[in-house]
Structure 1
Amino acid sequence: MAQTIKRYTEEEYLSLERNAEAKSEFYQGEITAMEGATRNHNIISGNFFAYLHLKLKGKGCRPYSNDMRLHTPGTAFYTYPDIVVVCGKDEFLDNEFDTLLNPVFLVEVLSHSTADYDNGRKFMRYRAIPDLKEYWTISSYEHRIVKNLKNDSDNSWVLTETTNLQDEMKISSLDIIVSLNEIYEGTEILKNL
């Protein structure tokens, strides 16, 4: 006999999530527990967050780490990107101020188990965010950064990829340049070279 999957409303999810010990993602009634992160994942995310925090001071933009929930307006999708940057006034879902609506820049640090999802369905859902200008995925198991930049004239996305540690990439939506070396500093990936 097939097992019935319990479906939740967005309100039920938010009520459960706001009292939960572990984070979970929500899409169209289904709640999925989020995986823990590896050491490399934490180092990469921490390095990039610290770099953004320093570079964005006084520029009217704020980075948030992986504990800031994001909702894609017009969909039933809630998730926790590794890094979220908002420029201007933060827009929240409600008066709890824990669910952002208006990121301009998103980052996901990839693991073997999340790479296909983060580059596929999740990116498709992120593209529904009107303010989003740029989406990066950063591998935690090899030197690889993929930059997806929105072309405002036709809403298409342009992909740029780099694997060279000496390369620098521009975060076009924030007018900041970062090197792969800065992002990967302290990871096991660098030690294995």
Structure 2
Amino acid sequence: MERKSIIDKIKKLREHSVERGATEAEAIAFALKAQKLIADNGIEEWELEGGEPDEVARVYAETKIRRAWLRLLFSVVAKNFRCRPVLTTTADGKRDIPTFLGHRSDAEAAAIVFTHLLEVGHKLGKRHEDDFYTDPDAYENFVRGFVCGVAMELEKQAEALMLTVPQDVEDHVRKMPLRNAPAPRRIRENAASMARGCEAGQDAVRARRIAG
């Protein structure tokens, strides 16, 4: 397939967004498929836009879910979409917004995937908490297992495509004043809850990949 045809195909895949009528499941499937084509063929953002090479951008992932484990998922998704995860504090200083720092195509895809997986993991975690009452930390164990499952599946793709964070993104991050985020609280680990979460995380990624 000629490079122009590949670029045209990527553009069409990226047109399928929630804002343009696609469901979240469809949007994430198209984002993963577009990412694979970009990585397979070394396509740069400036080629997709017909302009100059893409600059490093910040893409915010707004979410109403306020759970400490989102930082774990945030880091996993960023790594596998050639981005760096940065927490941006709101003007009032009351909350942090997950922010993907990377080339715009990578960062936008990462934000879509992260938001979707966060909602899926939270919903399944709450359901597991209601059903698995023998584990006092059922929700936390499940969602941490969920993140592990997501990481296992995404990293298979990242390793196969040899994805790495672009040097200009790394250089941009080095110039930023960064602070360490607090780690999620310690819990009593439950192997059964974590195993169920891990399986759910793998299924969540596989389902989107199959749908694509």
In the superposition, the TM-score normalised over structure 2's length comes to 0.29
Higher relative CO (Cα under 8 Å, sequence separation at least 6) belongs to: 2
- Bigger fraction of residues in helix: 2
- Bigger fraction of residues in strand: 1
In the superposition, the TM-score normalised over structure 1's length comes to 0.31
